[in-house]
Amino acid sequence: MKQKILVAREVFPEALERLRQHFEVEDNQADAILGVAGLKARLADKAGVLTAATDPMTAEVIAAAPSLKAVCNFAVGYNNIDLAACTRAGVMATNTPGVLDDTTADLAWALLMASARRLPAAERWLRNGEWKSWQFIQWLGSDVHHATLGILGMGRIGQTVARRALGFDMKVIYHNRSRLPADKEAACRASFVDKETLLRESDFLVLLLPYSPESHHTIGAPELALMKPAAHLINVARGGIVDDEALISALRQHRLAGAGLDVFEGEPKFNPGFLELDNVALTPHIGSSSRATRMAMAMTAADNLIAALSGRRPPNLLNPEVL
Which spans of this chain sit near ligand 8YV (rule: CB under 6 A)? 52-53, 74-77, 100, 287-288
Angstrom distance (rounded) from CA 81 to CA 317: 13
Task: Kindly state the smallest distance separating residue 286's Cβ from ligand 8YV, in Å.
Answer: 8
Task: Kindly state the smallest distance separating residue 17's Cβ from ligand 8YV, in Å.
Answer: 20
- Catalytic hit among 117, 238, 265, 294: 238
Dihedral sign (CA 319, 304, 72, 64): negative
Q: Which is nearer to ligand 8YV, 100 or 144 (CB)?
A: 100
- Residue 238 a catalytic site member: yes
In single-letter form, the type of residue at position 254 comes to H
Q: Which is nearer to ligand 8YV, 76 or 242 (CB)?
A: 76
Residues β-bridged to residue 149: 172, 204
Q: Which is nearer to ligand 8YV, 65 or 107 (CB)?
A: 107
Dihedral sign (CA 51, 57, 60, 63): positive
- Residue 179 a catalytic site member: no
Q: Which is nearer to ligand 8YV, 3 or 283 (CB)?
A: 283
Residue 16: what are its φ and ψ, rounded to 5°? -65, -40
- Catalytic hit among 285, 291, 313, 321: 285
Q: No. of H helices and E strands in the chain?
A: 12, 12
Task: Kindly state the smallest distance separating residue 173's Cβ from ligand 8YV, in Å.
Answer: 24
Give the CA radius of gyration of the chain.
Answer: 21
Angstrom distance (rounded) from CA 37 to CA 60: 9
Task: Kindly state the smallest distance separating residue 42's Cβ from ligand 8YV, in Å.
Answer: 18
What are the residue numbers of the active site?
Answer: 238, 267, 285
